[in-house]
Amino acid sequence: MAGKPLPWSFSDSPREECGVVGVYSPDDHAARVVFFGLFALQHRGQESAGIASSDGESIRTHTDMGLVTQAFREESLTPLIGDMAIGHTRYSTTGSSNISNAQPFLVSGVHGQLALGHNGNLINAVDLRKQLESKWGYGFSSSTDSEALAYLLASAPGDTWEERTAHCMRNVQGAFSAVAQTKDSIIGMKDPLGVRPLCLGKLNGGGWILASESCALDHVGAEFVRELEPAETVVIDRDGVHSSVWAGRTQKRALCVFELIYFARPDTRLDDVQVYGTRRAMGARLAQERPAEGDLVIGIPDSATAAAMGYAAESGIPYSDGLIKNRYVGRTFIAPDQRLRDLDVQLKFNPLPDVIAGKRLVVVDDSIVRGTTTPRVVSLLRQAGAAEIHMRVCAPPIQWACHFGVDMATRRELIAANKTIDQIARIIGVDSLGYLSVEGLLEVVGGKRRGFCHACFSGDYPIPVQLEMDKLVLERSNEPA
């Protein structure tokens, strides 16, 4: 499927980042375990998928475009032999969607071959790439920051991988939870702020697994051990698990709060708290801050369902399904014709008129980004007979772009950065609109105690960024002047 265009999508939500998995499974086909781990992380990226494996002598890779089940068949999985493997499922946050940007990247450096898969975004990727080209003469095959991170690690000074990852942490700015594969070890590392999640689990039979979310551990029968610390490196080899924390880290923490609002699967545990319960609590707090008179509470499926249930329980207004989601149209390589494109929301959602006709609806959603899809959902509900529609959003208004691994939109595209709440309500066609406050959100998630990045709501970035940087910056840096 190389060369296929960007998968057509209906979504106006923040785009997922990426999912990574690393497995050491003695006396087993590790790539097969990685495959099922990636399958559990499919919600984090649907553009491409790949696996790299090692049998102790050499590294083999396979990458392709599409969903995990599109990228892999038995004939592509079987040759990935060995008891160690890493995998990656991608949504493009730096670089466009094509096969050259599919991960894991396999590179060669002074320490031999190394494959790497990366979740996050490096804000100094252009400078890193120029340094690597000038110092080492590397020829880059992609337009993604992840390849720069792979070459940096493959050529880093130090006698151990812990020393080499420390070199990366000193020189890289931004977010990176990454897994790497050498011929005889698996490496997991998390940036000093801990922006993106990465956890460790234990497999039956003495093996180990690293994954972006704990739900991937559940799918392969692994026991959750712990979340990696910010600035931590874990090296897994045949002697076990070796951990080190970069001495240069500070006490500052900045886990992306959108992991709890939208990205992580509801059954995932982050910081030993299940995401589902946190989302219900967000909905309850939203009901306290932004009450509405209504007959039914419904959620925009599936990401706002838990918050809608929390809103209903707190407000005393009954909860009901009001929209049925077709879960098989979110990503497709077949672009619809214009007639179907005009019906995009109808292809994704179908209302239940017998439930919502004549009712005052409190509609809970997780976010409004550009404001292009929400009016069409509201129109569907109006056509189905809703008497009133009161939109409630279990996140604060998104007013700033993300530079740490989420394709949110540029600031000029963000509706809340350019319109008042009353103006947005008129644009999307609702009777009233209310958002959860930043203060309320942080109280629910324990933000003052645990530390979160909430820059997309507040503009308070945990490290300085170029405000107009975008995902194609590496492609433009290669264009002739």
256 carries an active-site annotation: no
Give dist(CA 382, CA 391) in Å, integer. Answer: 13
Vertex 399: Cα angle to 398 and 404 (nearest 5): 75
Catalytic site residue from 18, 168, 215, 453: 18
Measured CA to CA in angstroms, residue 79 lies from 40, 68, 100 at distances of: 22, 17, 21
What is the full DSSP assignment across 219-273?
HTTPEEEEEPPTTEEEEEETTEEEEEE-TT--S---EETHIIIIIS-TT-EETTE
Q: What is the DSSP letter of 329?
A: S
Which of 467, 443, 470 has its CA nearest to residue 455? Answer: 467
Give dist(CA 348, CA 329) in Å, integer. Answer: 6
Q: Looking at beta carbons, which pairs linking 125-131 to residues 24 or more positions away fall under 8 Å?
A: 125/94, 125/174, 125/473, 125/474, 126/473, 126/474, 126/477, 128/152, 128/171, 128/172, 129/474, 129/477
| Tokens encoding 429 | 């066609």
| Tokens encoding 82 | 């060995």
Give the active site residues: 18
